Amino acid sequence: MMDVKRVISTIERKYIVNNLKKEERIDGRGLWEFREFQISTDMVASAEGSADVSLGESRIITGLKYDIGEPFPDLPDEGVCTIMAELLPLASPLFERGPPDEQSIELARVVDRGIRHADCVQTKKLCIKEKEAVYILFVDMYVINHGGNLIDCGGVSALATLISAHVPEGKYTENGIEWTGNYLMGEDIVNELPLVLTYGKIEDMVFLDPCLPEELVCDGRLSISVTEDKITSIQKSGSATFSMDEIQMLGKKSIEIGKELRNKLDLWQYKVKIE
């Protein structure tokens, strides 16, 4: 991994910090403003759902594939949804070829945890026959450009992909699995729409959706996943500490901002119609 200290200078860090002290951002946003999301879906013909999502200059393409397998012994009537992330070297000089590093693992796990703990995916709908066969969904995120805050971009990309799902429907018969010609659609699979909101912290200043220069000089980050009315997961990274008062404040703010963002994105518009 490239040394971050060689990427951003002390002068630029001071410029970012001085702006934040005046409640200003280097890109003109306020402390609690997201950059613009751009979303397109169902553009990968070989996938059973896909999304191309940009948050500012960050861009992630996500695809959904499936397999049929046996359920876990302790969940005999529930399917599985797993989320993976790959940081392509073309996305940033900070990324290198090789096995998944801490950043790609963090991206996948934080997005996965927010979705899993919110009961987003209706896993019982993914059961073909109890104890015998279930759907295993693979949601794979590919980072195409790194402009900061990949977690929030990935969270929306994963949701848009699941909403655009069109998975062939199978039924279990004495001859094995037979395909009905119908599909499991996004509305069959998705129950909740959890959004993840990430805050950066530099010294004692906290702000939403750090862009790449801000992220490179952050002392730490806090990612909070929320549904309409509750927090589903919290993940901290970096050396910064967050007081209990700060966490409570950010939790309330996340639910408020999450409601506004959920209405603005209107993610259900991206469900696919099969003629």
Q: What is the pLDDT of residues 44-83, one digit of tens each?
A: 999 999 999 999 999 999 999 999 999 999 999 999 999 9
Residue 129 structure tokens: 């026959």
Residues 6+ apart with CB under 8 A from 65: 47, 48, 137, 138, 140
Residue 7 has a pLDDT of 64
Residues 43 and 45: their CA atoms lie apart, in Å, by 6
CATH code of 4-270, in short, is 3.30.230.70
3-state secondary structure of 148: coil
CA distances in angstroms from 37 to 59, 152, 154, 271, listed in the order given:
10, 10, 11, 18
Instruction: Name the average pLDDT for the chain.
Output: 92
What residues have CB less than 8 Å from 115, skipping those under 6 apart? 81, 83, 121, 155, 158, 159, 194, 225
- Cβ pair 138, 64 in contact under 8 A: yes
Question: What is the pTM assigned to this prediction?
Answer: 0.93
pLDDT at 2 over 60: no
What is Dmax (Cα atoms) for the chain? 71
Which tens digits make up the pLDDT trace of 85-112? 999 988 888 887 877 778 899 999 999 9
**Model pLDDT for residues 148-185, shown as the tens digit of each residue:** 999 999 999 999 999 999 999 999 888 888 999 999 99
Structure tokens at 75: 């969940």
**Cα separation values, 76 from 132, 234, 248, Å:** 8, 29, 38
pLDDT digits (tens, 9 = 90+) for 220-258: 999 999 999 999 999 999 999 999 999 999 999 999 999
Look at the alpha carbons of 67, 69, 74, 79 in this order and tell me if their dihedral is positive or negative: positive
